[in-house]
Copies of this chain bind each other. A is one copy, B any other.
Amino acid sequence: MSLNPSTAAAAAACDPARRPLADRYAAVRERSMALAAPLSPEDQCIQSMPDASPTKWHLAHTSWFFEAVVLQPHAAGYRPFDERFFFLFNSYYESLGPRHPRPQRGLLTRPGLDEVHRYRAHVDAAIAQLIERAGAELWATLQPLMELGLQHEQQHQELILTDILHALSCNPLLPAAQPQAAAPLHLAESVPALGWLELAEGAVEIGHAGADFAFDNETPRHRVWLQPCRIADRLVTCGEYAEFIADGGYRQPGLWLSDGWAQVQAQGWQHPVYWLAPDDPRAPAPHWQVYGLHGVRPLDPAAPVAQLSFYEAAAYAQWAGARLPTEAEWEAASALPGMRQATGHVWQWTRSSYDPYPGFQPWSGAVAEYNGKFMVGQLVLRGGSVATPPGHARATYRNFFPPAARWQFTGLRLARDAAC
């Protein structure tokens, strides 16, 4: 599928040294469209909670990012598709001007989906032209910004999936968001036996260094001191989590952090948010089922448990006589030979709050707001999920969400102190 023929054409036309980035640009942009393709214009318009955004908004916002960060500052004579989109599709960049309130993104029926497609094509054409015509000095400036724009769009590709899944989960018909999706969106597999990987005491280095792309929050690479511990070589499965439920895990306050227990009581949590208990009126069945991108399916005991909040992950670990790993432990363990399911299934909650690394400096300019200003009240997740675009994640990647968030592909891996 290609709504952007000019993109491919431009890529073909340009300097061979710039071809890889042009090709990559085209591929990433087209992947966003492909993710949205199975959804109706109505599906792509709605917003089911303030934390989630409409598909259409994601398609527009990622284009706005290229406009605001690449085209407006660097493409001489660039004419915006519509000046008003600067207000509509800015997400949270205070330095880039006022913006439409986040909880009201779902009310933007206009611009319609077709117009947003034209907006994307307009930006794509301008980017293609810029790649083709930029002088050498400008090209040097542009490369990292283009790369950031693409990484940014890949992050929103994951959100397109998790947000639409949440939106459709609010419909009592429980429709499937990706009915035809095949293996790439498949979570289940045969259940692996559990092994423990050992980490010895001592200083290790974590964080990103080098020329490859990484977000600012992964830097600087620095030394941390690890205590001896063991870390599970695979994820916790739905079957294991079902035992926790059956053992009354959601009824024992002693297993929960105080804030977590408050949520359990206030929200009536009894199981992961997308699980359907045997008597669920929306899709009656004599057994547990799980709602996901393919719709409602019987619970697969071998599949990693997903859509867990940090509170649920921590309560499970407590029940299992274990704990969550710290992000440093996770990163150190990720290099060990036996580490399985590190990425491609679910993001893994760590026991580390999302604090800045020692020596952390945000990027400069508008993108200073990209990561640093969110470094409070959130927990770090590591790994990568079935919804993460291929090639996007890496071992130093620091994903983060508030502890009550339940709409992402988030699960857990256990850890234990060496002495336990």
Query: What is the interface of chain A, defined by CB distance below 8 A to chain B?
Result: 40-46, 48, 56, 84, 87-88, 92, 94-95, 100, 104, 106-113, 167-168, 170-173, 175, 203, 222-227, 229, 253-254, 256-261, 310-311, 314, 326, 351-356, 358-359, 368-369, 373-377, 379, 403, 417, 419
Shortest Cβ distance from residue A419 to the other chain B in the assembled complex, whole angstroms:
8
The reply to whether B376 and A376 contact each other, CB–CB distance below 8 Å, is no
The reply to whether A257 and B373 contact each other, CB–CB distance below 8 Å, is yes
The reply to whether B373 and A110 contact each other, CB–CB distance below 8 Å, is no
Bound: A172/B89 CA distance, A:
12
Closest to A373 in B: B258
- Determine which of B88, B107, B351, B359 lies in contact with A48 in the assembled complex, contact meaning CB atoms within 8 Å: B107
Between A and B, 9 residue pairs with Cβ closer than 8 Å are A100-B172, A107-B171, A108-B171, A111-B173, A229-B358, A257-B375, A258-B373, A311-B376, A359-B417
Shortest Cβ distance from residue A256 to the other chain B in the assembled complex, whole angstroms:
7
Q: A46-B109, A351-B355 are known contacts. Are A92 and B41 too (CB-CB below 8 A)?
A: no
Bound: A367/B385 CA distance, A:
38
Bound: A226/B379 CA distance, A:
22
Task: List 8 other contacts, CB 8 Å, given A42-B113, A359-B419.
Answer: A42-B56, A42-B110, A94-B261, A109-B168, A223-B227, A227-B359, A257-B373, A259-B377
Query: CB-CB < 8 A to A417: which residues of B?
Result: 358-359
Q: A94-B253, A358-B227 are known contacts. Are A46 and B48 too (CB-CB below 8 A)?
A: no
Closest to A356 in B: B351
Closest to A350 in B: B355
Q: A41-B40, A351-B355 are known contacts. Are A170 and B107 too (CB-CB below 8 A)?
A: yes
Bound: A256/B40 CA distance, A:
39
Query: CB-CB < 8 A to A110: which residues of B?
Result: 40, 42-43, 168, 171, 173, 175
Closest to A352 in B: B355
The reply to whether B376 and A259 contact each other, CB–CB distance below 8 Å, is yes
The reply to whether A106 and B109 contact each other, CB–CB distance below 8 Å, is no
| A interface, over-half SS | mixed
Query: CB-CB < 8 A to A353: which residues of B?
Result: 353-355, 376
Shortest Cβ distance from residue A329 to the other chain B in the assembled complex, whole angstroms:
9
Query: CB-CB < 8 A to A43: which residues of B?
Result: 109-110
The reply to whether A170 and B104 contact each other, CB–CB distance below 8 Å, is yes
The reply to whether A109 and B227 contact each other, CB–CB distance below 8 Å, is no
Query: CB-CB < 8 A to A257: which residues of B?
Result: 373-376
Query: CB-CB < 8 A to A104: which residues of B?
Result: 170
Shortest Cβ distance from residue A216 to the other chain B in the assembled complex, whole angstroms:
15
Bound: A225/B369 CA distance, A:
28
Query: CB-CB < 8 A to A351: which residues of B?
Result: 355-356
The reply to whether B172 and A87 contact each other, CB–CB distance below 8 Å, is yes
Q: Which 7 A-B pairs have the closest CB atoms?
A: A353-B353, A94-B253, A42-B109, A42-B45, A227-B358, A258-B373, A43-B109
Shortest Cβ distance from residue A200 to the other chain B in the assembled complex, whole angstroms:
13
Query: CB-CB < 8 A to A377: which residues of B?
Result: 259, 377, 403
The reply to whether B92 and A258 contact each other, CB–CB distance below 8 Å, is yes
Bound: A352/B175 CA distance, A:
43
The reply to whether B46 and A107 contact each other, CB–CB distance below 8 Å, is yes
Most-contacted residue by chain B among A41, A222, A368 (CB, 10 A): A41
Q: A258-B374, A353-B353 are known contacts. Are A88 and B172 too (CB-CB below 8 A)?
A: yes
Shortest Cβ distance from residue A238 to the other chain B in the assembled complex, whole angstroms:
25
The reply to whether A171 and B310 contact each other, CB–CB distance below 8 Å, is no
Closest to A104 in B: B170
Closest to A204 in B: B225
Bound: A163/B355 CA distance, A:
29
Most-contacted residue by chain B among A46, A113, A358 (CB, 10 A): A358
Bound: A167/B110 CA distance, A:
11
Bound: A355/B351 CA distance, A:
7
